[in-house]
Amino acid sequence: MAQELETKDAGNVVRSNGETRPAALTFTPAVDIFEKGETTVIIADMPGVAFDGVDVTLERQVLTLRGTLKPRASEGYRRISSEYREGDYLRVFTLSDEIDQAKINAEFKNGVLRLELPRTAKTQPKKISVNAA
Amino acid sequence: MLQTNYSPWGFNDPFADMRRLQGTMNQLFDSGRSAERSGTYPFVNFWAGQDSIVMSAELPGLAEQDIELTVKDKMISIRGTYPEPETGDDVTWHRRERPAGSFLRSIELPFRIETDHIDARFENGVLIVEMQRPEADKPKKIQIKSS
């Protein structure tokens, strides 16, 4: 299970002193979270981010997903209409389970980050057998 | 609207809160990515180059073969289907925010697109389509003769 943490600078759009600065936008990426067996899977959409712009950190129970947009060569091009905006991505979760850090699997493909977080053996539910007295 | 200092209600303007609310709402709708709010999908940006128009759309999670791009006269259509999310008896969902299902969007451009002058790329979940303007549509320089 992962619970989302609100970071101070991770609103839908982050702006410094109320100004619109398209160069420094940070978005909250859309995520899918599900558990499959003993693994928690987090999938986050980060379109426009290249493989080397993804940064995942797990510090104690705090999982931070960060994507830095790869600037596109737009020289000689002029924006004529804009329905979406581009920016970096940031989302933070606290994990309620112990994660086996050595077995975390992260994959990045087509702008999507997929994280597989296996629970450690000791946090897996234990079956306790009841003996008839 | 013309802003004046005249306030018939003195400091207790009953509409002040309403205006403030309206301002906040406008700000809310103007900011962020309004992905869930509208029936149009995907969202596209347009860029104008020297002799071309570039269209870009964010389609994370799709692969090149999941996107179908068709061009007819002035109309460009993007069609695609997102892969099915994970299913199974042992899957417990906690959050599902990412787009799913299929979409189709057609956009009319201001000029006829020639199919052999299109360059489409799909990179890191972003579709970029560059369309060259046809020769006939390009602005022409006209020589001015002195009499």
ipTM for the predicted complex comes to 0.73
Q: Residue A32 and residue B63: Cβ atoms within 8 Å? A: no
Q: Which two tokens stand for residue A49?
A: 């981010």
Instruction: Show pLDDT as tens, one digit a residue, over chain A (133 residues).
Output: 667 776 655 444 544 455 444 456 889 999 999 998 888 999 999 999 998 999 999 888 889 999 998 777 777 888 888 888 888 999 999 987 778 888 889 999 999 999 999 988 766 667 778 888 7
Q: Given CB atoms, is B91 within the 8 Å cutoff of chain A? A: yes
Phi, psi (rounded to 5 degrees) for A17: 35, 45
Confidence of residue B69 (pLDDT cuts 50, 70, 90): very high
What does the pLDDT read at residue B58?
92
B72: part of which helix (H) or strand (E)? strand B67-72
Q: Given CB atoms, is B83 within the 8 Å cutoff of chain A? A: no
Phi, psi (rounded to 5 degrees) for A84: -135, 160
Where residue A65 falls (left for φ over 0; alpha for ψ -120 to 50; beta otherwise) is beta
Contacting residues of A for B47, CB less than 8 Å apart: 74, 77-80
Q: What helix, strand, coil percent values describe chain B, rounded to 5? A: 15, 35, 50
Classify B93 as helix, strand or coil: strand
Contacting residues of B for A79, CB less than 8 Å apart: 45-47
What does the pLDDT read at residue B10?
54
- Per-residue pLDDT at B129 exceeds 60: yes
Contacting residues of B for A76, CB less than 8 Å apart: 49-50
